[in-house]
């Protein structure tokens, strides 16, 4: 058996069937909106998410940043959770691309309380303060071990957004995982938000791409901005075909990834020098702490034995299950961890 790569669910490679769909995709020039496969993907995704329109974009970061751009004006402020991807892993692009700033607030398991969000909203009369324009949440939440945000909390935050005339954005990079694990449809989740960004290239196994969805006018605006950011693609149907294949075939199977994650979490829980909060593992992301060595050393030692892990937080390791890692490899990964930390 070769390397077991649990660094991320982004590491999957297109399957043979997916490659066949890519090979036979009908294509055209998408800058003229003449790529039939891109158009089909966008319609299919908009329907699935229950939104008027969708746009195929290069990445999750581009999806989030386009949404923030179309919802704000320079000098506006966006409320987000402190450990969110938008705040930590998007290269400071809210400032660079939209001239806006983020107001990060503490969450519990990635979930912000409505009272904390209300407290962060700037009074409109205070002309010397930034204008609060958007509330954004992440579901599932990457740095909260793939936590699923509850509908009750989403509803509370939606009410806060409405009461204060704010926009509501969802970083739904892994909304498919949230939906499969909770049984709540992606369209139900999406219904609370003005804009939604979701990835095709994570657990769904496509090599490239994300989708943003919203009303027609907002997507039209995003189409224009995407071009100005150099994101206008030409015969992108070969990529869209992979995305369509992923949406049609790879959503339900995410439950297998969740099973694999649960199994690995239980194994980790039984290993002496590893610490994991078992109840936090609800989808495909595991965060766990090495107790006897540093995270850097732990990543190095695991790599030497053929197991690739990534950094979760400053003190934790991260492992993700996905469609390119078999149950057998998960058992083996558990054994490797036992050898190192047992």
Residues at the site binding ligand TLP, with contacts judged by CB under 6 A: 8, 10, 59-61, 64, 85, 89, 138, 142, 171, 173, 199, 201, 210
| Structure tokens belonging to residue 71 | 């919802």
**CB closer to ligand TLP out of 51 and 169:** 169
Residues 6+ apart with CB under 8 A from 311: 295, 299, 317, 318
Q: Least distance from C-beta 171 to ligand TLP, angstroms?
A: 5
Quote the CA–CA distance of 173 and 59 in Å, as a whole number: 10
CA distance 217 to 207: 29
Provide DSSP, 13-40.
Answer: ---HHHHHHHHT-----GGGT--HHHHH
Among residues 195 and 201, whose Cβ is nearest to ligand TLP? 201
- Give min distance, CB of 173 to ligand TLP, in A: 3
53, burial (CB in 10 Å: exposed 0-12, middle 13-18, buried 19+)? buried
The least CB distance from residue 34 to ligand TLP, in Å, is 26
Nearer to ligand TLP, 206 or 340 (CB): 206
Contact 84, 104 (CB under 8 A): yes
Bond before 297 cis per omega within 30 degrees: no
Comparing CB distances to ligand TLP, the nearer of 64 and 121 is 64
Strand, helix or coil for residue 87: helix
* Closest approach of ligand TLP to the CB of residue 299, in Å: 14
Give the nearer residue to ligand TLP in terms of CB position, either 121 or 243.
243
Q: How far is the CB of 108 from ligand TLP (least distance, A)?
A: 17
Of 90 and 121, the one with the shorter C-beta distance to ligand TLP is 90
* Shortest distance, position 197 Cβ to ligand TLP, whole Å: 7
Residue in the shown chain whose Cβ atom is closest to ligand TLP: 60
């Amino acid at each position: 058996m070769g390397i077991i790569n649990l660094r991320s669910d982004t590491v999957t490679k297109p399957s043979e069937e997916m490659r066949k769909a890519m090979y036979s995709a009908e294509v055209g020039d998408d800058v003229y909106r003449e790529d039939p496969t891109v158009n089909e993907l966008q319609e299919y995704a908009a329907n699935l998410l229950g939104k008027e329109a969708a746009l195929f974009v290069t990445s999750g970061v581009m999806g989030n940043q386009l949404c923030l751009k179309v919802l704000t004006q320079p000098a506006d402020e966006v409320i987000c959770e402190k450990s969110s991807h938008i705040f930590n892993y998007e290269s400071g692009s809210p400032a660079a691309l939209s001239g806006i700033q983020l107001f990060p607030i503490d969450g519990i398991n990635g979930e912000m309380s409505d009272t904390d969000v209300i407290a962060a909203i700037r009074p409109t009369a205070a002309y010397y303060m930034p204008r609060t324009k958007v509330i954004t949440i992440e579901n599932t939440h990457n740095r909260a071990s793939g936590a699923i945000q509850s509908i009750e909390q989403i509803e509370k935050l939606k009410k806060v957004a409405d009461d204060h005339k704010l926009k509501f954005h969802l970083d739904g990079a892994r909304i498919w995982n949230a939906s499969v694990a909770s049984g709540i449809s992606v369209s139900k989740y999406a219904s609370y938000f003005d804009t939604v960004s979701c990835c095709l290239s994570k657990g769904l196994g496509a090599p490239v791409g994300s989708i943003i969805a919203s009303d027609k006018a907002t997507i039209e605006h995003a189409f224009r901005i995407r071009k100005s950011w150099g994101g206008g693609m030409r015969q992108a149907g070969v990529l869209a075909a992979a995305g369509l294949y992923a949406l049609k075939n790879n959503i339900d199977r995410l439950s297998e990834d969740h099973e694999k994650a649960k199994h690995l979490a239980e194994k980790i829980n039984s290993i002496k020098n590893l610490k994991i909060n078992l109840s936090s593992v609800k989808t495909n992301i595991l965060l766990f702490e090495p107790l006897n060595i540093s995270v850097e050393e732990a990543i190095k030692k695991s790599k030497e034995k053929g197991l690739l892990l990534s950094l979760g937080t400053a003190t934790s390791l991260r492992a993700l299950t996905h469609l390119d890692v078999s149950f057998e490899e998960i058992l083996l990964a558990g054994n490797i961890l036992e050898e190192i930390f047992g």
